[in-house]
Amino acid sequence: MQLKDKVAIVTGSSLGIGKAIAKAFGREGAKVTVDYRSHPNEAKEAVEEIEKSGGRAIAVQADVSKPEDIKKLVGKTVEEFGRLDIMVNNAGIEEKKPFLETPLETWEKVIAVNLTGVWLCCQEAAKQMVSQGGGGRIINVSSIHEEITMPTNAPYCAAKGGLKMLMRTIAVELAPYGITVNNIGPGAIETPINQNLKENPDQMKQLLEEIPLGRIGQPEDVASVAVFLASDAASYVTGSTYFVDGGMMRQSGSL
């Protein structure tokens, strides 16, 4: 088991990529806090699935855009498991609108969750890791759109671009404490957020033409990279983004 006796928080882990990461961590021996904002039943199911595989888990409701919720999230994890070794910032939202029609409130909402929320989680987790000693791992689920454009999604792309430089900067600052910081940049992954693709064959065909490996990624494809970055095998890895996109970045026409 690569994560035996480690303690992890995975934000937004009641569904999709976050849930796959939480389950993978549990299978590898980690104690996992499943964070959710608005899907309590799914969070409970995630906890049950982790425990069925022999792991330990709790569910905590926390909105990552609220500082008091992040303090609660980290506090309850430490209260339950005694420490915090791994912080995975996965929670995110997007609202697609043409740039000229995007209201300020949409910008503020997306930035609050996708960038400010990650800032808050990184800082609170790092404070705990520094105080307890022994280093730690911070892993942010970013996107290929920290590098390539996505018209009608400017706030999301701006947040992911900011996340790239946040990761790079705090990786340097936190290195003296033995804390590594890395991003995972998924491409097209089959999650509830893009279920509509299955109902639109033409759009799916267009998307697959952009992916050299010719398939949509699965949440488990991202989870396996997260396990690596959280493990001792990645102890000399920090300040980088690992793209999980089937080669999409090398061929994409800015979908």
* All domains in the chain, ordered by first residue: 7-246 (3.40.50.720)
In the predicted model, is pLDDT for residue 254 greater than 60?
A: no
For residues 71-81, b (16+ Cβ closer than 10 Å) or e, as one string? Answer: eebbebbbeeb
The H or E element containing residue 244 is strand 241-244
pLDDT digits (tens, 9 = 90+) for 76-117: 999 999 999 999 999 999 999 999 999 999 999 999 999 999
Q: Which residues contact 191 (CB under 8 A, 6 or more apart)?
A: 15, 16, 17, 219
For the entire predicted model, the pTM comes to 0.95
* Catalytic annotation, residues: 156
pLDDT digits (tens, 9 = 90+) for 199-245: 788 888 888 999 999 999 999 999 999 999 999 999 999 999 999 99
Q: What is the band of 196 on the pLDDT scale with cuts at 50, 70, 90? A: confident
Q: What is the DSSP letter of 210?
A: T
Burial (CB count <10 Å: 0-12, 13-18, 19+), residue 103: exposed
Token couple for 187? 């491409």
CA-to-CA distance for 14 and 42, rounded, in angstroms?
Answer: 5
Q: What is the band of 255 on the pLDDT scale with cuts at 50, 70, 90? A: very low
